[in-house]
Every structure is written in structure tokens, then in C-alpha cells.
Amino acid sequence: MNASDKAAFFKRDGAIGYLVIDNPSKRNAINYSMWTAIPDLVRQADTDPSVRVIVLRGAGENAFAAGADINEFETMFATSQGCRDYHDAIRKAEQTLGTCSKPTIAMIHGFCIGGGMELALACDLRFASDDGRFGVTASKLGVVYSLTSTRRLMQLIGPSRTRDLLYSGRLLDASEAAAMGIVDRILSAADLERETVDYARTLCQRAPRSIAASKRIVEIILNGAHDETTASERLRLDAFAGDELAEGIRAFKARRQPDFLRAKPEESI
């Protein structure tokens, strides 16, 4: 099955990798084949040494993803095995995106609902257009948001606001989503792509091993650590022996920008 059949694809522009949800006729609603395609696409970007940052976006500028493709529900949920397969596909897509070693940015035009929110929440950062609309509409359909997705949402906005969104299924505009902590930056629809790409290019110029280690340490903290762990200490100590620090010091002394793009590849963290 090719990329167009799966309605999702990966492309690279320099050091930026794009994972594109491509179903614009349905506001990029996410179908089952797309859920199953996403893990391989994320792994493709994560293992490509030329990719430093992953940007997740919807095709066009009308929607990031307006939820799961409800037209599939009657067929997929007709059997218990179909239900398990569908939920397992969502879990693997979220997990692969949430645990990849490279920084991830959800670039959100317009609607980001249900399954779209699940993918956006699995990213490290979320940049949204000022016409963005956000929501978890599970209670309107009679489905239940997964524990993993609920946990990610609750870590951002707290338990009371999580209950509000899950119970009511109401939609938020970009301003309320930002005030809650769902969105990190609001930009005009005209500026969203340019500003997101500029930020991604900034990350491409930074030390990739340092960023990957920081990403791991944040996750260790979110998993309950309150003091140094063996893993976090190793990440810090390894940095002192790495080529990136040596280049950073050389650049500082020479009063120039460090050149991490040509740094010797490191082992994955």
C-alpha cells in the first residue's frame, strides 16, 4: 500500500522532517490505515540522521485533524477484535510519536479534535493558528479517551479542566486552549507555517544530543522522579564526554556559532 492510500506521508526539507495527515476532503479525519501507517512514518523520520526536527501537520490550512473517521466506526467496532485492533493502532501511533528521540512540533491549522488532539498532545510542542478549534468530543459519541491520552492532557491542564473537556465535549478557541496550556504559541494563519519553520530551523542549529537528553529527562520527571536517577545522571555525564560539548566550547572561544550539523553522529539515547 502506498503513502496516498494510507492518507499520511513523510517528507523531508533539509533537516526538518514533515509527517503529514493527508485527508483534506474530510478535514484530515484520521482513518484506520492512517493510524497504522503513522508508527512507521515516525520511525522513518526518527532514524534518518539528516532529520533533526519533526513537524506534524495536516494537509492544507483548514484542519490539523478533525478527529477519527467516524464513517469507519460501525465496521471497525462491529466485533470485539475490531475494537481491539482499532484502539491498538491508536495506541501505537501515539506511543511511537510520544517516545521518538527527536523534538516534535504539532503545527495546527484550524480544527484539532478528538484523534487530532491525541496526536497533537503526543508532540513536544503545539503551535496553532488563531482560528484553531480544539476539543475532545468522546462524550458526544459514547467512546472513551485512552488512559495515555487522558494522562497527557491532564499533565498539561490539570484534573479539573480535563474533566471539563471530557465530560462536556465542548470546543475551545485558540486563546482558551493557550490559557489552559494545550497550545504553546498562537500565530496568525498567515504566519503559522513560516514561524513554525523558523523555530524548527533554530532547533536544527542546536546540539541534537543535548535536546534528546533534555527530552528524556523531562519524560523521567513526568513519570514521577523527584531526584537524579541512574538514567538522568548518565545522560548528563555522557554529554561531558561528547563531541557536541567540545564543539560548543570551541565555538564559544572563537566567538562563532557552533556547527552541530556536521557533528559526529552519536549513539541514540
Per-residue pLDDT of the chain in tens (269 residues, 90 and over written 9): 344 455 899 999 999 999 999 999 999 999 999 999 999 999 999 999 999 999 999 999 999 999 888 888 888 888 999 889 999 999 999 999 999 999 999 999 999 999 999 999 999 999 999 999 999 999 998 989 999 999 999 999 999 999 999 999 999 999 999 999 999 999 999 999 999 999 999 999 999 888 999 999 998 898 888 999 998 888 888 887 778 877 787 888 888 888 776 555 444 44
Q: Give CA–CA dist 168/108, Å, rounded.
A: 22
Say which amino acid occupies 43. R
The arrangement of secondary structure in 3-203, i.e. its CATH architecture, is: Alpha-Beta Complex (3.90)
Residues 212 and 68: their CA atoms lie apart, in Å, by 30
pLDDT given for residue 267 in this prediction: 41
Residue whose C-alpha is closest to residue 107's, from 132, 85, 128, 83: 128
Pairing of strands 104-108, 63-65: unpaired
Q: Which residues neighbour 73 within 8 Å (Cβ) at sequence distance 6 or greater?
A: 141
pLDDT of residue 74: 82
Q: Taking the mean position of all CA atoms in its chain, how far away is CA 240?
A: 29
- Domain residue spans of the chain: 3-203, 207-254
Domain 207-254 -> CATH class: mainly alpha
The pTM (predicted TM-score) of the whole model is: 0.89
Residue written as grid cell 489552559: 180
